A and B are shown apart, each in its own frame.
Chain A
Amino acid sequence: EVQMVESGGGLAQPGGSLKVSCAASGFTFDKYWMSWFRQAPGKGPEWVANIKEDGSQQYYADSVRGRFTISRDNAKNSLSLQMNSLRGDDTAVYYCARTGTTHHWGQGTLVTVSS
């Protein structure tokens, strides 16, 4: 069974940093692009970033480019999102997803940015 389990969410200060991670299982991790999505309270989902199978290409939404970094460790079947210079509007549930012809999402981890 394809499964993604996110971790690392919590409370961060404005201007601070946080790293969320995703443990993937049930599929050949290094054969798929992977994504991060997020959903702010009461809002629709938003795409955040994508990373190629071998990690050689990354793409970011305009709202996070230059502040967030997506990375992966294929040996550990893991995906990460390093978030710097956090702002209040980064408060959201962050979801890891296997992307491709279809998508499989995890259950998400909540990140709250507040003083």
Chain B
Amino acid sequence: DIQMTQSPSTLSASVGDRVTITCRASQTINSWLAWYQQTPGEAPKVLIYKASTLESGVPSRFSGSGSGTEFTLTISCLQPEDFATYYCQQYNSYSMYSFGQGTRVEIK
């Protein structure tokens, strides 16, 4: 099974900050990685797919990079609505998908 390790688990930041979240896969997943944002009571929302492609309608301050086993999500200028929990998810094979444990972005 492919394990996804996400860091940090919690991140304290201020509006306007640049923040980076890292996700590491236990084996190569090529570029089959998605990043989700989730706010309380809502379904997870896809921000980035295929490691670096911005989902339609997602602000350009979000960006993704990486391939193989190392991936990052960057928010270039944190906005109040960005305080949420973020998850990475690998989907390299239809036989098994898996998620990172999540990163909670909180107000400093």
Contacts and interface: CB of A to CB of B under 8 A. Distances in A.
Interface of A: 33, 35, 39, 44-47, 50, 52, 57, 59, 61, 93, 95, 99, 101-108
B96 A45 contact: no
Interface residues of B, number: 23
| Nearest 3 Cβ contacts at the A-B interface | A102-B49, A47-B97, A59-B95
B75 interface: no
B84 to A, nearest CB: 13
A103 B96 contact: no
Given A45-B36, A95-B43, A108-B43, A103 B98 contact: no
Interface of B: 34, 36, 38, 43-46, 49-50, 53, 55, 87, 89, 91, 94-102
A44 B87 CA distance: 8
B99 to A, nearest CB: 5
A102 B97 contact: no
B43 A105 contact: yes
Contacts of B101: 44
